[in-house]
Chain A
Amino acid sequence: NAGVMQNPRHLVRRRGQEARLRCSPMKGHSHVYWYRQLPEEGLKFMVYLQKENIIDESGMPKERFSAEFPKEGPSILRIQQVVRGDSAAYFCASSLRANTEAFFGQGTRLTVV
């Protein structure tokens, strides 16, 4: 049973480009969570999705950021018109149900140049 898979592991984008980060949850998991980790800081919650629905987006920046978790395929975190401050590690976690353990992927390190 493969773990949570995130790709790419590393992503370099120029300022103004779009970044798409993918997360495939563990098999059978329908709950997905996205986190951002800035250098030397802890992880910060961004958004919680359940198949085709956004449950909680209280941690998402109001502009340029969006997330989806379609019926088929991975969850996508999309950052439009990236800026240097978006450089961070982005982690995805998935769980079987809301009240069960969330397992983390290895993260995507985004560098904006």
Chain B
Amino acid sequence: AQTVTQSQPEMSVQEAETVTLSCTYDTSENNYYLFWYKQPPSRQMILVIRQEAYKQQNATENRFSVNFQKAAKSFSLKISDSQLGDTAMYFCALAGGTSYGKLTFGQGTILTVHP
């Protein structure tokens, strides 16, 4: 069985500052993928960033980057230069095996960016 744990129910950050959201996971798969999704009040699930487990290099997408620690089974998301539009629920998710679409989600972290 796969599990994903987000231990921070809520986080807040000032606009333009940096914030890190934590995620740990467990899986018996050798090949797997990790994702961070953003869910704003509109409820739309938006893919923020993804990481293939076989890649050692941490993924980056503009202001978003991850710290992937495979041995520790940790996958944190760093948001730099936070913007008001980053306010949302953030979910860490894991896909094991060959299917990107069968995801195990964490409980989510509500991020609030203050002006």
A52 interface residue (CB < 8 Å to B):
no
Main secondary structure on B side of the interface with A: loop
Chain A residues near B105 (CB, 8 Å)? 42-44
Contacting B at CB under 8 A, from A77-102, are 89, 91, 93-95, 98-102
Q: Is the CB of A33 within 8 A of B102?
A: yes
B104 interface residue (CB < 8 Å to A):
yes
User: Contact residue range for chain B?
Assistant: 20 to 34
User: Contact residue range for chain A?
Assistant: 20 to 34
> A-facing mask of B21-62, CB < 8 A → 1, else 0?
000000000000000010000111111001000000000000
Q: Name the distance in Å between A1's Cβ and chain B's nearest Cβ.
A: 16
Q: Name the distance in Å between A35's Cβ and chain B's nearest Cβ.
A: 8
Q: Is the CB of B102 within 8 A of A45?
A: yes
Chain A residues near B91 (CB, 8 Å)? 42-43
Among candidates B43, B44, B100, residue contacting A100 with C-beta atoms closer than 8 Å: B100
Nearest 3 interchain pairs by C-beta:
A42-B105, A104-B45, A102-B101
**Partner-A contacts on B (CB < 8 A):** 4, 37, 42-47, 50, 91, 98-108
A-B contact pairs, 12 of them (CB 8 A): A31-B101, A35-B103, A42-B106, A45-B102, A48-B102, A89-B43, A93-B101, A95-B100, A99-B98, A101-B47, A102-B103, A106-B44
